[in-house]
């Protein structure tokens, strides 16, 4: 019974994992992850060089100049965790995900 439940859980998890797209971060950059959409927010953690991130939603915030240009778009990569979109290779200068609520 437990193995069947575990298998069902894995199948549901796999279905959700396929719906998430991961974006490359800027090469050679250890990226600060912040509590909000600006450099005034505390650093939660630092992503290693070559990290990929999922973008769950995006929000306007502090304008930052980074590897991929200048923008005020910040990417929500986990609950309460944001990175400047200027360090994420989305292929767009605009929004690629829904606005954070």
- How much is the mean pLDDT over the chain? 87
Unique residue bearing structure tokens 């910040």: 74
- Residue-wise pLDDT tens digits, 7-34: 433 434 444 444 689 999 999 999 999 9
100 pLDDT more than 80? yes
With CA atoms as reference, report the closest residue to 39 among 77, 68, 82: 82
Q: If you average pLDDT over residues 57-84, what whole number do you get?
A: 98
Q: Which two tokens stand for residue 59?
A: 């929000």
Strand order in the sheet with 69-78: 43-47, 31-34, 81-84, 69-78, 57-66
What pLDDT is stored for residue 20 in this prediction?
81
Tens of pLDDT, residue by residue over 44-60, are 999 999 999 999 999 99
> Which pLDDT score is estimated for 69?
97
């Amino acid at each position: 019974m437990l193995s069947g439940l575990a298998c069902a859980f894995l199948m549901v998890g796999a279905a959700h994992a396929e719906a998430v797209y991961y974006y490359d971060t800027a090469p050679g950059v250890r990226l600060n992850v912040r509590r909000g959409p600006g450099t005034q927010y505390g650093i939660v953690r630092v992503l290693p060089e070559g990290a990929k991130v999922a973008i769950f939603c995006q929000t306007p915030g502090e304008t930052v100049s980074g590897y991929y240009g200048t923008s005020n778009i910040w990417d929500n990569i986990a609950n309460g965790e944001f990175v400047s979109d200027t360090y994420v290779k989305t292929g767009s200068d605009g929004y690629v995900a829904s606005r954070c609520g």
